[in-house]
Amino acid sequence: MKFTPRSPSSFSGFNSSLKHPIYFVLSSNIFPSFMATLSTQTDSHEDPDDRLCAATSGCSSLQQNCSSSSSSAALPMSSESPSPSSSLGSPARCLNGEWRIDRAWTHWKKLGQPKLMVAPMVDNSELPFRMLCRKYGAGAAYTPMLHSRIFSENEKYRTQEFTTCKEDRPLFVQFCANDPDILLEAARMVEPHCDYVDINLGCPQRIARRGNYGAFLMDNLPLIKSLVQKLADNLHVPVSCKIRIFSNLQDTITYARMLEDAGCSLLAVHGRTRDEKDGKKFRADWNAIKAVKGAVKIPVLANGNIRHMDDVHRCLEETGADGVLSAESLLENPALFAGFRTAEWVEADEESNIDGKLDQADLLVEYLKLCESYPVPWRIIRSHVHKMLGDWFRIHPQVREDLNAQSRLTFEFLYDMVNRLRELGTRIPLYVKGSHAGGPTENGVDTRN
Ligand SMILES: Cc1cc2nc3c(=O)[nH]c(=O)nc-3n(C[C@H](O)[C@H](O)[C@H](O)COP(=O)(O)O)c2cc1C
């Protein structure tokens, strides 16, 4: 079997310094002067990729017009008291530690204790991508990080950046924040539509340093505690946190226990420090995740180095975690949790791996169809096209150049592009282990389609 060599970056077509493009968009949003510019911007100054893909079908607003044609909706936001589907009932204000732990597990069990999760990804874990991953085995998913202040203040931001539908559950809605009252205001708007409100305590980007959120709050643990307590004491839906580790294990454990005591009901641990930004360069420390799992009583999810299902099994076994999150690898291969793997993870002598009769172009077409039902800005679709077809573009760089030359995308152009790649004779299969081939996986997902 001949396997495709890979280039060092899986983000071809993008400047590598822009791996997390929305962090830059949000960074601008954090400054009020730019905010004003944003809200008064005329169409002529808009980046064409920020248009919603629905615009091609004459649908300019995600809020109403499109929701009738699909089950997706930008949700009517209100701070009225919701009636969430949470199994927790009333806020945790008066509960002692043991009761809170019990409630955390009751809720997690009610959700079916999902093991395989789509990690939060700015500009990448949006509704259609979540739905695609769910089809291929993901048991739960996070939204991209939302900026709590902008979310609470700006309706346009809410309608564009947060969409969901009734099948999009269990769902974690993630916010970055540094003010408990503002965080609560934003959280109240989403709590009827999600299963956890998550606090981003792991973003290591420069913009998070400037905005004082994400992993930079690790320098101010009392502030983190107040954020968690505020939500735990006032929301009906439980609060979860996604953290990075400290370089000192004991600090990480103390941190995790503090979060649990403050009312956190579920903890996702990314096993890298905030200085270990490059996921390809630094392996996640699963031992630290194991230590956290042993130190707290709430459910713990492991994050880092989940590239295929063998990693999932090893990670769950080695850390004892209750589930895993995957990010970068899912972007290339949204069918990862259904047992498919890219050629990169197939050893040449591993004869048990066979063509899974599914490839990344098939997945892209499925994704595009979901985008037709659940409109998102074109910049997000463009980003997914590059990530899913990166290997294909390396073989036919002129196809990528044609894509990059399009300042305005259409679905027609993208479907034609996939056909052109196929006509050029390109096909890079996704592989499955023999026993999984063409049948239902352990996640109950039938991979024959
Ligand atoms: C494109 C991209 C965007 C991301 N955005 C977020 C985010 O919004 N919130 C967050 O907590 N982590 C974010 N992350 C980090 C991932 O959730 C995850 O913690 C990290 O990539 C490690 O997981 P992995 O080894 O499976 O890639 C992002 C990662 C990527 C690749």
pLDDT in tens, 432-449: 987 554 443 444 443 332
State the distance from the centre of ligand 1 to the C-alpha of 433, rounded, in angstroms.
Answer: 27
* Ligand 1 nearest-atom number relative to CA 325: 26
* Ligand 1 nearest-atom number relative to CA 305: 25
- Distance between CA atoms of 147 and 154, rounded to whole angstroms? 10
Does 406 share its domain with 258?
Answer: no
Domain membership of residue 351 (yes or no) is yes
The ligand 1 site (C-beta within 6 Å) comprises 20, 119-122, 124, 144-145, 174, 200, 202-203, 242, 270, 279, 303-306, 326-329
Question: What are the pLDDT digits (tens) for 202-250?
Answer: 999 999 999 999 999 999 999 999 999 999 999 999 999 999 999 999 9
Question: What proportion of the chain, given as a percentage, has pLDDT over 70?
Answer: 76
Q: Which residue, 338, 360, 394, sits at the end of a domain? A: 338
Question: What proportion of the chain, given as a percentage, has pLDDT over 90?
Answer: 69
State the distance from the centre of ligand 1 to the C-alpha of 422, rounded, in angstroms.
Answer: 31
Does 196 share its domain with 136?
Answer: yes
Domain membership of residue 217 (yes or no) is yes
**pLDDT reported for residue 406:** 97
Residue 84 has pLDDT above 60, yes or no: no
Lowest mean pLDDT of 88-102, 188-202, 237-251, 317-331, name the range: 88-102
Confirm if 128 and 374 have CB atoms less than 8 A apart. yes
Domain membership of residue 257 (yes or no) is yes
* Ligand 1 nearest-atom number relative to CA 304: 25
Does 321 share its domain with 356?
Answer: no
Does 244 share its domain with 370?
Answer: no
**pLDDT reported for residue 13:** 28
**pLDDT reported for residue 443:** 46
Domain membership of residue 198 (yes or no) is yes
What CATH number corresponds to the domain at position 130?
A: 3.20.20.70
Question: What are the pLDDT digits (tens) for 33-55?
Answer: 222 222 222 233 456 777 888 74
Domain membership of residue 72 (yes or no) is no
Does 242 share its domain with 367?
Answer: no
User: Region 354-378: what's the mean pLDDT?
Assistant: 96
Q: Which residue, 321, 338, 355, sits at the end of a domain? A: 338
**Which residue's alpha carbon is at the smallest distance from atom 30 of ligand 1?**
121
Does 257 share its domain with 397?
Answer: no
State the distance from the centre of ligand 1 to the C-alpha of 48, rounded, in angstroms.
Answer: 25
**pLDDT reported for residue 12:** 27
State the distance from the centre of ligand 1 to the C-alpha of 444, rounded, in angstroms.
Answer: 26
Question: What are the pLDDT digits (tens) for 115-156?
Answer: 999 999 999 999 999 999 999 999 999 999 999 999 999 999
Position 377 confidence tier, pLDDT thresholds 50, 70, 90? very high
Position 279 confidence tier, pLDDT thresholds 50, 70, 90? confident
Does 289 share its domain with 438?
Answer: no
Does 233 share its domain with 311?
Answer: yes
Domain membership of residue 224 (yes or no) is yes
- One of 203, 264, 315, 371 is an active-site residue; which one? 203
For the chain, the average pLDDT equals: 82
Does 250 share its domain with 329?
Answer: yes
Does 310 share its domain with 352?
Answer: no
* 133 classed as catalytic: no
Q: Which residue, 282, 311, 338, sits at the end of a domain? A: 338
Does 106 share its domain with 248?
Answer: yes
Residue 112 has pLDDT above 70, yes or no: yes
Domain membership of residue 148 (yes or no) is yes
Number of domains in the chain: 2
Does 310 share its domain with 368?
Answer: no
Domain membership of residue 293 (yes or no) is yes
Domain that residue 429 falls in: 342-444
